[in-house]
């Protein structure tokens, strides 16, 4: 039994979560606390991967990052390397589909922090950055943790966009969901059952762990 | 030491002015009270002083330091201003203990012990805000604001959430603060009783200041009908000046009224006159009248009585419909009740003439 898909999925999801959490929190804070023109547009753009079919998101990623893509062609001409059909492409796809979950939950959590607490911190001499670290984020901790878990869960289950831009290369880009799809289409129900069970248990364990974390005292 | 404020701020709603504030005052190191209905712009003034809102134009100076000057392009950040700001709901950090709340704005916690005992919160250091009573929360908020050695202390409705005992205690604490720190203390309230604590009272109408003065002056000699109503004077009448004597003036209202003369009155001029409800004297029928109360005598029937604890509010229907506030014991002694007709004196010296119309 080849456990490579499990480890790949964990690696991709963890890296994707580490990337999407700080970026997501930063964007969530800006959306929650700042007013600027184009805010609604940015908001819609960020949430787009939630409503688009993952294959469409994946197609956009190809258009952007492919060898001849809008951004990808510069990367290719500079480095001779393209992200397409590497495990990094799976990370990229996971970040894009998972980050809306991070932003949505973190934004709601930050908005629920009484803004007067931030104001009082300013009058006590704390900069906006220190206030964010010492007041806003600690008070929004539960929501942010929930966002991290949701985006991690979304990343582990990512299928469509990953298949589109990372492909299904055994031993290279075949993540759990793709391996399960493979096993089922090849009629290897034993393998499929095992992979499904593993993925389910890992998910339950993570959800249980976060529930424990969230219920603890802040 | 002192504060000087002269600011303007307009809020637009769909490009039309929705609310605009114009406020200008200057104070020494004293207790000043911003008094007025909610929505008048008192908290907005505080936010401007604290640097949380940028005025459209004007200046804010505290102890000679310019916080804001639109012409010279100065606008210090909240962090640079050194303001002790106690918010209405205290805004304690719910995730930090009392100790950490108070030490939030300082680098070394050396003053902590002293301030804990000044506000009598020793022993509560390790508690969280939700484990404190309202009065304790407020003292923690005060300690947190004062430990940074602010140049000015701003208190937004500090009395609103306190019971009677805690109110008395806060009055004492405010005296302590003034003695110890000697900084200007500005306080917002809409309660006339608390407004009376002020050295200087700043009366806010909607979007601006109506009158500035000592509480005594404002409560007895309001400049306008609006201020008179704000400070609880509901006995407001109009009349025409019909005679000007050496010291007095006679006003033809529903009846003739004699009042102290003020400058600039002309015969035939329309004026407003008013008297505080607690300045209306209810006369005892069995006693001869003293000289000072033998002015402006009227009678009326009591139509309603509202007990207010130490005092009673009486509404009488007669030559003038008057509101009277009298001590409860006097009310009992005269065995007054609804339906009874009483004699009252509107003491000349208690009558205040407002020239606006």
Instruction: Round to whole Å and give the CA distance between B54 and B52.
Output: 7
Residue A57 lies in a domain: no
User: Which residue among B82, B91, B105 places its CB closest to the CB of A114?
Assistant: B91
Residues 6 or more apart in contact with residue A17 via CB below 8 angstroms: A98, A148, A151, A152, A155
- Residue B269 is predicted with a pLDDT of 87
Q: What is the ipTM of this complex?
A: 0.83
* pLDDT for residue B119: 87
What pLDDT, on the 0 to 100 scale, is given for residue B289?
Answer: 67
In chain A, residues with a C-beta closer than 8 Å to the C-beta of B91 are 114, 116-117, 119-120
State residue B312 phi and psi, 5-degree precision: -120, 145
Spatial contact of B289 and B282, defined as CB atoms under 8 Å apart: no
Q: Decide which of A216 and B182 is more confident.
A: B182
* A131 phi, psi to nearest 5 deg: -60, -40
Q: Which of A123, A126, A140 to mutate to test the interface with B (most CBs of B within 10 A)?
A: A123
> Would residue A74 count as lying in a domain?
no
Residue to substitute from B76, B85, B129, interface A, most A β-carbons within 10 A: B85
Range of the domain at A25: 4-52+82-215
CB contact under 8 A, B87 and A122: no
DSSP per-residue codes, A96-140: HHHHHHHHHHHHHHHHTS-HHHHHHHHHTT--HHHHIIIIIHHHT
| Residue at A76 is within a domain | no
* A80, pLDDT greater than 70: yes
Domain count, chain A: 1
Q: Is residue A147 part of a domain?
A: yes
Rounded to whole angstroms, how far apart are CA atoms B127 and B301?
A: 58
Of A125, A134, A138, the CB nearest to B79: A125
β-partners of residue B270 are: B240
Biggest alpha carbon distance in chain A?
A: 66
Q: Exposure of B164 by Cβ count < 10 A (0-12 exposed, 13-18 middle, 19+ buried)?
A: exposed
Split at pLDDT 50, 70, 90, the class of A218 is: very low
The predicted structure's pLDDT at residue B292: 60
pLDDT of residue B175: 84
Tell whether A77 is covered by a domain: no
For the whole prediction, is pTM greater than 0.90?
no
Count CB neighbours of B113 within 10 A: 11
Position B188 scores a pLDDT of 94
Which pLDDT does position B137 carry in this prediction?
A: 93
Quick check: is A63 in a domain?
A: no
Question: How confident is residue A217, by pLDDT bands cut at 50, 70 and 90?
Answer: very low
Kindly tell me the burial class for residue A187, based on how many C-beta atoms sit within 10 Å of its own C-beta (0-12, 13-18, 19 or more): exposed
Residue A91: inside a domain: yes
Q: What is the pLDDT of residue B38?
A: 84
pLDDT of residue A216: 61
Give residue B301's pLDDT.
92
Which residues of chain B are under the pLDDT cut of 70? 288-293, 357
Residues of A with CB below 8 A from B93's CB?
117, 135, 139
Distance CA B58, CA B2 (A): 17
Distance CA B184, CA B151 (A): 8
Find the CATH number of the domain harbouring A43: 1.10.3720.10
In A19-81, DSSP assigns E strands to: none
| Confidence (pLDDT) at B2 | 87
* Euclidean distance between CA atoms A161 and A55, whole angstroms: 5
Q: Which of A85, A79, A72, A98 is nearest to A15 (CA)?
A: A98
Kind plus residue range of the DSSP H or E element containing B211: strand B208-213
CA atoms of A137 and A151, how far apart (whole Å)? 18
Q: Closest partner residue to A139 among B50, B87, B95, by Cβ? A: B95
* Residue A203 lies inside a defined structural domain of this protein: yes
Across the interface, which of A123, A127, A138 has its CB nearest the CB of B85?
A: A123
């Amino acid at each position: 039994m080849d456990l490579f898909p499990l480890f790949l999925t964990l690696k991709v999801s963890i890296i994707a979560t580490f990337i999407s959490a700080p970026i997501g929190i930063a964007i969530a804070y800006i959306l929650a606390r700042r007013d600027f023109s184009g805010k609604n547009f940015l908001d819609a753009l960020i949430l787009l991967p939630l409503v688009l079919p993952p294959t469409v998101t994946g197609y956009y990623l190809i258009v952007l990052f492919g060898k001849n893509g809008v951004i990808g062609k510069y990367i290719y001409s500079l480095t001779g390397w393209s992200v397409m059909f590497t495990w990094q492409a799976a990370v990229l796809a996971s970040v894009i589909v998972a980050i809306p979950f991070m932003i949505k939950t973190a934004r709601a959590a930050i908005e629920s922090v009484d803004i007067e607490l931030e104001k009082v911190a300013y009058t006590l001499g704390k900069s906006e950055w220190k206030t964010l670290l010492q007041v806003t984020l600690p008070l929004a901790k539960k929501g942010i943790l929930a966002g991290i878990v949701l985006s991690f869960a979304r990343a582990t289950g990512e299928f469509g966009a990953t298949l589109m831009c990372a492909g299904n290369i055994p031993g290279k880009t075949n993540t759990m969901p793709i391996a399960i799809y493979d096993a089922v289409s090849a009629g290897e129900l034993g393998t499929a059952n095992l992979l499904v069970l593993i993925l389910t248990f890992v998910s339950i364990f993570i959800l249980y762990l976060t529930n424990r974390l969230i219920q603890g005292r802040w | 030491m002192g504060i000087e404020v002269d600011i303007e701020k307009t809020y637009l709603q769909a490009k039309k002015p929705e609310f605009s504030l114009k406020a200008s005052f200057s104070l020494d190191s004293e207790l000043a009270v911003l008094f007025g209905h909610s929505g008048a712009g008192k908290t907005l003034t505080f936010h401007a002083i604290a640097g949380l809102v940028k005025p459209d134009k004007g200046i804010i100076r505290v102890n000679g330091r310019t916080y804001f000057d639109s012409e010279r392009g100065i606008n210090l950040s909240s962090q640079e201003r050194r303001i002790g700001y106690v918010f209405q709901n205290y805004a304690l950090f719910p995730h930090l203990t009392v100790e950490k709340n108070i030490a939030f704005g300082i680098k070394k916690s050396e003053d902590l012990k002293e301030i804990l005992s000044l506000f009598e919160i020793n022993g509560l250091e390790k508690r969280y805000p939700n484990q404190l009573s309202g009065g304790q929360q407020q003292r923690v908020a005060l300690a947190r604001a004062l430990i940074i050695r602010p140049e000015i202390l701003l208190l937004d409705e500090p009395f609103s959430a306190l019971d009677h005992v805690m109110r008395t205690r806060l009055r004492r604490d405010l005296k302590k603060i003034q003695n110890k720190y000697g900084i200007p203390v500005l306080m917002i309230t809409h309660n006339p009783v608390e407004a009376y604590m002020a050295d200087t009272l700043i009366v806010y109408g909607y979007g601006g200041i109506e009158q500035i003065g000592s509480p005594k002056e404002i409560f007895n000699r309001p400049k306008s009908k609006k201020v008179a109503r704000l400070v609880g004077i509901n006995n407001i009448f109009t009349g025409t000046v019909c005679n000007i004597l050496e010291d007095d003036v006679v006003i033809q209202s529903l009846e003739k009224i004699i009042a102290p003369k003020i400058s600039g009155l002309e015969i035939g001029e329309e004026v407003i006159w008013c008297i505080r409800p607690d300045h209306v004297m209810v006369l005892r029928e069995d006693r001869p009248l003293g000289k000072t109360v033998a002015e402006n005598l009227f009678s009326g029937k009591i139509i309603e009585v509202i007990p207010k604890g130490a005092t009673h509010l009486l509404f009488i229907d007669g030559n003038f419909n008057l509101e009277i506030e009298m001590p409860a014991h006097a009310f009992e002694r005269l065995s007054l009740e609804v339906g009874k007709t009483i004699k009252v004196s509107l003491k000349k010296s208690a009558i205040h003439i407002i020239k606006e119309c």
